[in-house]
Amino acid sequence: MERLQKVIAKSGVTSRRKAEDLIKAGKVKVNGKVVNELGLKVTDKDLVEVNNMKIETEEKVYYIINKPAGCISAFSDDKDRRVVVDYLRSRGVQERVYPVGRLDYDTTGALILTNDGELANLLMHPRNEINKIYLVRCVGIVNSVGLAKLRKGIDLGSFKTAPAKVELVSVDKANNSSQVRITIHEGKYHQVKLMFEAISHPVKKLRREMYAFINVSGLKPGEFRRLKIHEVKQLYVLATYKEKKTNYRIRRY
């Protein structure tokens, strides 16, 4: 038996915390009866409905794909453009997996897909500070002043970025371009591109090399692999460490 909110989260419908909100709001039924108090435990024989829709429990799966350029980081697209999930479907993946966060249409590299809603929400929550490493090819020769601005954090108007780890990889004077490796833990829309525009070095090419400790080594664009059990466990550890540490401090003080 498992707590109702955990079962809902495992189904991929939403996170555990949002599942608790749905229960309190009377949006959840168990065996036809509305449940609005937390703590109820259910089995796989119980009928659980969220917003009058039966939830389907399926095996949790986890993939990493080397996302190619020219596709949308989504499960489907109303404009009938190619989506990243199409690559998994074409190779026989039947589970309804969703990308964890997004990469732009023209951005390539490491993207996790899963039907584990709880883990996906933990990984995407900015509080948990999951690192993402990008290799940027940008216009112009980036100097120490520009690198220092990225390391300090940049005011983009609507928000200020957290300090980033930055490494100048190479410069190409003939083509007036630089390669910079940058590590951030935020995931704002177009964030890396906006950061480089802010230091007057627009991005020409962007590739995510690593999500947390997961890379796409050995995978060609469009290829993917299933994550190993120990990798999934380690992602959970990373995604819950700061939350547990914060809760400990609250209880202690």
Catalytically active residues, by annotation: 104
What is d(CA 112, CA 231) in angstroms, rounded to the nearest whole number? Answer: 12
- Does residue 134 sit in helix, strand or coil? strand
- Token pair of 251 as six digits: 């209880």
CA–CA distance, 178 with 164 (Å, rounded to integer)? 17
Residues 6+ apart with CB under 8 A from 248: none
Q: Please, what sign has the CA dihedral across residues 8, 132, 242, 239?
A: positive
CA 133 to chain centre: 13
Q: DSSP 3-state assignment of 213?
A: coil
Distance CA 157, CA 190 (A): 13
Which tokens in the block code for residue 127?
Answer: 């509080």
